[in-house]
Amino acid sequence: MRFKTVDLPYHVYIGENVIQKLPKVLRSLDAGYFLLLTDEIVKNLVVVNLKEMLSEFEYNLMIVESATMEEARKIVLKSGFADYDAVVGVGGGKVLDVSKVVASEFNATLISIPTTASHDGIASPVASFKENGKPVSISTNPPSAVVADLNIIKNCPIRLLRSGYGDLISNLSSVKDWQLARDLVGEDYNEVAASIAVMPAQLMVSKAEQLDLTLLPHLLMLLRGLIMSGVAIALVGSSRPASGAEHKFSHALDYLGYGNGTHGEQVALGTIIMEYLHEKHYGRGDWELVKTSLEKVHAPTTAKEIGLTREQVIEALMLAMKLRKKRFTILEAVKPTKEEFEIVLEKTGIA
């Protein structure tokens, strides 16, 4: 029997005031000397309140200016020959993505302390950047600890929470794509990872009627789902459980520079489209359920809401079919024409 060693978060705390667990986490991970990365806003709102609890530790604090590989390199060079035990990232996606790369460069333990719940990068081993305006994904080590304090995250803009909801429910279509690749081209498939990714998404969609993401119990559900999504990615060493054709669509929008949507908003629209295709061609999607759930949490369900025209959506969908060809999805399976995409957009009311 063959076994594979998998790195997963060792400590995961989600709840009110769990930031108080940070010293315990640092001691458990033998992180007496660490690099704390944050941004200017979070430094003044959150990090300033951590000084007393971190008084027993030695650490350097650096500000992350941008979400780029160049920024990560600057931080590594600025650190010189520092022998950090850990990198502690406190912030949103920009800070956490840079923290992942810096921790991997130092071969140091990563501790993820999110201040938003806008996507599943909180616990995943993937850092996402834009280089020259184009999306780039970098494989990194996953965090050894995640400390997600609801009393901190509840203060982030509601749009970011809705974006996180969109990113989480996109797992519905990405797992269908994975199953399609298993059935049609014999791709390796992991039922455990798929279940970890899709079950929280199914739960959130089923509860959408009652969801209020500003309420702590519902925010807790969202965070658990996003962290589980990241764990599913770490389990198979690939974003496969949480990234299918809907993410190709989002990447295409990024490449083209169209619209003003967040990542979660873009993949949510993509999920409606891909669920339609799965339902039409294989009878196992439910685009109306996905769209209704997004409407219930007041997330965008039309192109216009995120600054897109019908023509731009069509162009992005056509480009999506050319991206990451090795990742088999519903797009590769049915090869939709421009005319079919136009019908999908009309039927779903997206554009």
- Whether residue 263 is annotated as binding a ligand: the answer is yes
Residue 118 among known ligand-binding residues: yes
Ligand-binding site membership of 247 (annotated): yes
SS3 14: strand
Residue 30 assigned to a binding site: no
In sequence order, the 6+-apart residues with CB closer than 8 A to the CB of 326 are none
| Element at 37 (helix H, strand E) | strand 33-38
Residues 129, 168 contacting (CB under 8 angstroms) = no
Q: Is 149 annotated as a binding residue?
A: no
Residue 96 counted as an annotated binding residue: yes
Q: Is 94 annotated as a binding residue?
A: yes
Alpha-helical runs (H) found in 170-244: 171-185, 191-206, 216-236
The reply to whether 133 sits in an annotated binding site is: no
Q: Is 124 annotated as a binding residue?
A: yes
Residues 6 or more apart whose CB falls under 8 angstroms from that of 94 comprise 39, 64, 66, 67
**267 is an annotated ligand-binding site residue:** no
Tokens of 123: 């616990």
> What residues contact 8, with CB distance under 8 A and at least 6 apart?
142, 231, 234, 235
Binding residue numbers for Zn(2+): 167, 247, 263
Binding residue numbers for NAD(+): 93-97, 115-118, 124
Binding residue numbers for substrate: 120, 167, 251
Binding residue numbers for glycerol: 120, 167, 247, 263
Binding residue numbers: 93-97, 115-118, 120, 124, 167, 247, 251, 263
